[in-house]
Chains A and B, each alone.
Chain A
Amino acid sequence: MADTASPLLQARALTKTYGERIVTPVLKGIDLDLLAREFCALTGPSGSGKTTLLNVIGLLARPTDGRIFLDGHDTGNLHDDARTRLRARFLGFVFQFHHLLPAFTAAENVMMPLLSRHRRRKSWMRPRALELLEEVGLADRADYRVIDLSGGQQQRVAVARALVMDPPLVLADEPTGNLDTEASRRVLQLMRSFNERRSTAFLIVTHDEHIARQCDRVVHMVDGRVDSDTRNGARVAPPPD
């Protein structure tokens, strides 16, 4: 696990444009350091580039320009499989619409990253998944198909899946955007508790100011750029070049 003070993720001069004939710049030079164990919100109006930034630093999309270092590894020249391996080792994902696999049970969904990493089912995998489902309060739903769970329960399964590989960083894209107030509160509480107990860093894309206020750090984006970056109310200095 990385040191608290050392950057877990470093993004330098990230740009991302879409389209070939009509070029649309979405990220316009992002510099961002994320420290280990940080609980950070990424806010901004719609179209400001939050989800694109999350995808780029989550190695789901390649930047048009700029570099990303994940725990010191330069991800720039890596081929797709190496990026996938790095993603599996360092990153967990929670998506707005949970994006679980409907053909599988809650426990199987949680185990999925382990199964694909180790290529076959091992005896310790299910206990590990059950342990996480216990932590998110869904041990009694382990063998339910995920389509039989409520939205809030599905999102908690997604949180358990994101944490099953014990990644140092979880990227969450509007994790409560589709939930009612009570379910939102519970999911956020869960992520906070994992952050505190397991020292997992979280980068949470959100529109919800209430969630942002509960984060230690808030990065605000406007029009593809970092507009403000504050940690516990104090401005965070931009990373060195």
Chain B
Amino acid sequence: MPFELFVALRYLREGRLQTWLILTGVGVGVGAIIFVSALITGLQQSLVDRTLGSQAHVVVRPPEEMPRVLERRDSALRATVVQRPPQRVRSIVEWQRVQDLIRRIPGVVAVAPTVAGPAMAVRGLGATSVTVRGIEIESYEPIVDLEGKVVDGRFDLTGFKAMVGTELARKLGLEVGGRVRLQAAGDRGGVYTVAGIFDLGNKDLNERWVFVSLRGAQTMFNLVGGVSTLEIKGTEIFQADNLAARIRDRTGLDAESWMTRNSDLLVGLRSQSQSSTMIQVFVILAVALGIASVLAVSVVQKSREIGILKATGTRTASVTRIFLLQGAMLGMAGSLLGIAIGTCLALFFASLATNPDGSPRFPVDLNLVLFGRSVAVALVVGLLSAILPARRAARMDPATVIRNG
């Protein structure tokens, strides 16, 4: 065992109470960091998962229709009123070519052609407005895992079969095998059989969305052979804004990311992250001050011994290392204790409240990266906090401290 490690370990063992107190302090601090990080990351992940559980990362649409003002080539002064036309469901021009173009953009995982438009869902005397979404199961499945969200019936959109949300089913009294009329503008539509009922985890979407086959929606919105939207999944969810910008640049179409559509959620997530960072910074500061103060006291208590070590041939660098090692070991051991404390706390908290399906209501995200980062931070903080006490110890004049203590 290296000399400095031997002495540092013995000093830590000798100051048992001090060592345990500071280890507990570091442990509680690191535990708090782990608990807060795991909870906030878990909650954020859960929120993002729920949001993206029903949405594509980027949605591409044709540009909105805008009226063109006809210019007359004379000098007469005219007052012109430009009225915004009502938007209708339109197809993306040459959508197959655009789809291929988007697929080749780096960062794109999957592209699904869809048709989406407003309609009325009517059953008997009950009616409600819905958004009909025409999809191809094969291309849409990589974007949103609908199959996993079916709570009754099965995921089948062949022919005149439709999937409705739990809220719509409740509102119109629909059951699997029941029938519902979907009617779009221009009295286009048809009677569909409910093949399955889904729960997207969002009450509003469960009430408004109805899935039919792509072909059925194309007919309903008079878009035979066309698609109104291309829905895209990217590799990085938080790079969706950049991906949307790249798609806009390449295609000239409107491309909107989930981040733009859910800007309030993102502001919330960022605020959470910032408050979590602030908590972590203050905890790290408290841990650093704790280690530094214990080592500073230790240097004062051991000043005579430091003088003796130097008098008997221990070099200044070795004295410095003895105290740096103590700081590093306190940080390392404290962080391991903290991982245990934080993990227990997080798991306990997650077990307090559960969803009906048994999943935790407050999910926590405990992972090796978080643990590794905590150990690294505590190690660096331990070393940094030991620098000043170590330098003070190294500067001690052996003759003076041996005489005066």
Contacts and interface: CB of A to CB of B under 8 A. Distances in A.
B404 interface: no
Contacts of A113: 312-313
A225 interface: no
Given A84-B310, A99-B308, A104-B10, A120 B2 contact: yes
A116 B399 contact: no
B6 interface: yes
A99 B318 contact: no
Contacts of B6: 115, 121
Nearest to A112: B312
B391 to A, nearest CB: 14
Contacts of A161: 312
A197 interface: no
B14 interface: yes
B309 A101 contact: yes
A46 to B, nearest CB: 14
Contacts of B57: none
A84 B398 CA distance: 11
Interface in A38-97: 51, 55, 58, 60-61, 80-81, 84-85, 87-88, 93, 95
Contacts of A116: 3, 309, 312-315, 318
A129 to B, nearest CB: 13
Nearest to B12: A103
Interface in A190-225: none
B95 interface: no
B397 A87 contact: no
B305 A101 contact: yes
A88 B313 contact: yes
A117 interface: yes
Contacts of A87: 311, 313
Given A99-B304, A99-B402, A84 B2 contact: no
Interface in B348-405: 397-400, 402-403
A165 interface: yes
Contact of A60 (B1, B10, B399): B399
A21 interface: no
A237 B403 CA distance: 32
A119 B2 contact: yes
Contacts of A121: 1, 3, 6
Contacts of A55: 399
Interface string B296-325: 000000001101111111111110000000
A84 B14 contact: no
B11 interface: yes
A124 to B, nearest CB: 15
Interface string A170-205: 000000000000000000000000000000000000
A161 B308 CA distance: 11
A61 B308 contact: no
A115 B3 contact: yes
Contacts of B317: 81
Given A81-B316, A121-B1, A121-B6, A93 B311 contact: yes
A60 B397 CA distance: 8
Given A55-B399, A103-B11, A103-B14, A81 B315 contact: yes
A56 to B, nearest CB: 8
B3 A120 contact: yes
Nearest to A79: B316
A103 B3 CA distance: 14
B321 to A, nearest CB: 10
A93 B310 CA distance: 11
Contacts of A93: 311-312
B301 to A, nearest CB: 11
A100 B311 CA distance: 12
B157 to A, nearest CB: 73
B399 A112 contact: no
A185 B305 CA distance: 27
Nearest to B4: A119
Most chain A CB within a 10 A radius of its CB, from B2, B311, B402: B311
Contacts of B13: 103
Nearest to A118: B3
Given A99-B304, A103-B10, A60 B398 contact: yes
Interface string B13-48: 110000000000000000000000000000000000
Most chain B CB within a 10 A radius of its CB, from A95, A103, A120: A103
A193 to B, nearest CB: 22
A100 B305 CA distance: 8
A113 B311 CA distance: 9
Interface string B334-356: 00000000000000000000000
A167 to B, nearest CB: 10
Contact of A61 (B304, B314, B399): B399
Contacts of B304: 99
A199 B398 CA distance: 27
B167 to A, nearest CB: 71
Interface in B122-172: none
A229 to B, nearest CB: 24
Interface of A: 51, 55, 58, 60-61, 80-81, 84-85, 87-88, 93, 95, 99-104, 112-113, 115-121, 161, 165
Interface of B: 1-4, 6, 10-11, 13-14, 304-305, 307-318, 397-400, 402-403
Which 3 A-B pairs have CB atoms at the shortest separation, nearest pair first? A88-B313, A103-B14, A60-B399
9 contacts: A60-B402, A84-B315, A87-B313, A95-B308, A99-B308, A103-B305, A116-B313, A120-B1, A165-B313
Given A60-B398, A61-B397, A102-B305, 8 more contacts: A60-B402, A61-B400, A84-B315, A84-B316, A99-B402, A101-B308, A115-B3, A116-B313
